[in-house]
Amino acid sequence: MNYKDIIQILAGHPLIKDITKWMNSDSKGLQINGLQASGKGMMLNAIQQMSGAKMLVVMEDAETAAYLYNDINRAMLADKYSLLPSSYKKSPKHGGLDLASEIMRTDALNIIHKTQDNNKKDNSQLSTLNSQLNNGWLIVTSPEGLIERVTPQQTFETKRLTIRKGEIVDSEKVIHSLAEWGFELVEFVYEPGQYAQRGSILDIFSFSNERPYRIDFWDDEVESIRVFDIEKQLSINEVEEISILPNVTAKGDKETISIFNFLPSDTIICWANMTFAIERINDIYDDTLIKQHSEKNVADVLNILINGNIAKEQITNFRHIYLDKRQRTTESSPKLGEVHEVGRGMLTLNFNQSAQPPYHKNFDIVADSLRSFINDGYAIHICSDSKKQTDRIASIFDERGDNIHFTPIEGTIHEGFIDHDLSVCFFTDHQIFDRYHKFSLKSDIAKAGKVSMTLKEINQLQIGDYVVHIDHGIGKFAGL
């Protein structure tokens, strides 16, 4: 089994139908309680796939957003799921942009923008199921990602170049557009915003993809488009169509808008904690404003960030799902699975999940716990990125004579959980063995590519070559 099988299991939860019913109603708010650990991201994934909704999920901070996205991205729907991070290495207050984060930010905006395009092209009613499923997406973000202004939709469109295999394209015009958008001409591309030309081959590292593209022209015809590895310079796969995008995260643009003005009006915003998110936006804005005021750059802050008041005003145009009990408008406790009003325009649903218990590598505790779940009718699934790990766990049970059977899941999640309504357990091998689990983002590939190219360039240096040291100036390379 794999991640998609987990989603299929969770999609059978009876409350999914109630959520779909809410989405087709006029209610502005939905309270969801009881989602635990990675069950939160997995259930949101199932909800999005079953409903075809456009969903913006706002977590408490950048790290929890990255972990939730890591869980959701296991579905491998790169054209529908993305992370909207801050484009800064630390914060707007300190400055310093992170190119790898800007790849993901541009990718998220491109996913949102493409649905706007589809809406304009589709003359049918978008309330039909097929249209919803085609145009839906799920973007995960945090206050750090929400606070930054973005390029308006109209400007975004003028800075996008679509190239298809087999079409006639003037390569000189492509190069002219790249130069105009600020792309840098280099010998080998290794980071976003670069391009290289060798005869009929044009390499482009767009901000819309984690790896660069290699376009092979036959005269003016696009003969092939390939994604390639930066370090090895070898093709990974061939694609039929690509979108080339510069850095469209609004830095330096005269006209900017908030992310809420960029979103389609039918977007549903899911909040881990809305009150905290708004307060956090205000804190970041105030800190940046104080620092920039001392440097007399206040106008820059107003052009790149929004404050909490703007956010509060603009989010009223959307429908909301609240994932934190503290946001409920009443103290009433509805029964499990019940759908009813808990305040003006607010519905509530109660899931029944719990987090994976701590085992601390003690297989006596593991065996007793799993045996208890099996006796109560629960199906046991253990997730791991390595088949060897699940085989190892199975062999440990066999050697101990525990007679415990489980279903291995190819690909892990961040935190295991139990869904008591469905009587299923999704546990992780790294929690069983008390190992640290770090999220993995698409932009990690771009970071690795830059490092590998830097090392490659260093290894090509010959003794006696002239170099420039960041501290000591010009000198001769004497070896490593």
Beta strands in 405-472 (DSSP E): 407-410, 417-419, 424-428, 466-469
Residue 167: CB atoms within 10 A of its CB come to 11
Q: What angle do CA 73, 76, 81 make, to 5 degrees?
A: 55
Q: Give residue 448's pLDDT.
A: 53
pLDDT value for 458: 66
Residue 459's CB is within 10 A of a number of other CB atoms, namely 8
Entry pTM: 0.82
Looking at residue 478, its pLDDT comes to 82
pLDDT confidence tier of residue 191, bands split at 50, 70 and 90: confident
The structure tokens listed for 43 are 């259930």
| Predicted confidence (pLDDT) per residue in 157-188, tens digit | 888 899 999 999 999 999 999 999 989 999 88
Distances (CA, A) of 262 to 48, 75, 116, 475: 20, 25, 10, 50
Which tens digits make up the pLDDT trace of 357-377?
999 999 999 999 999 999 999
**Token pair for 329:** 């408008």
Alpha-carbon distance of 320 to 43, in angstroms, equals: 16
Give tens-digit pLDDT for 267-318: 999 999 999 999 999 999 998 887 666 555 656 777 889 999 999 999 999 9
% the chain with pLDDT above 70: 83
pLDDT tens across 31-90, in order? 999 999 999 999 999 999 999 999 999 999 999 999 999 998 876 666 789 999 999 988
The larger pLDDT score, comparing residue 471 to residue 30, is at: 30
CA–CA gap between residue 458 and residue 477 (Å, rounded)? 10
Q: What is the DSSP letter of 257?
A: B
Residue 272, CA distances (Å) to 22, 61, 314, 325 in order: 19, 10, 18, 9
Q: How many CB atoms lie within 10 A of CB 389?
A: 20
Give the 3-state secondary structure percentages of the chain, helix then strand then coil, rounded to 5: 40, 25, 40
| 321 pLDDT more than 90 | yes
pLDDT for the residue 116:
67
Write down the mean pLDDT value for the chain: 85
Mean pLDDT of 113-136: 54
Q: Which phi and psi (to 5°) does residue 382 adopt?
A: -120, 125
Residue pair 282/147 in contact by the 8 Å Cβ criterion: no
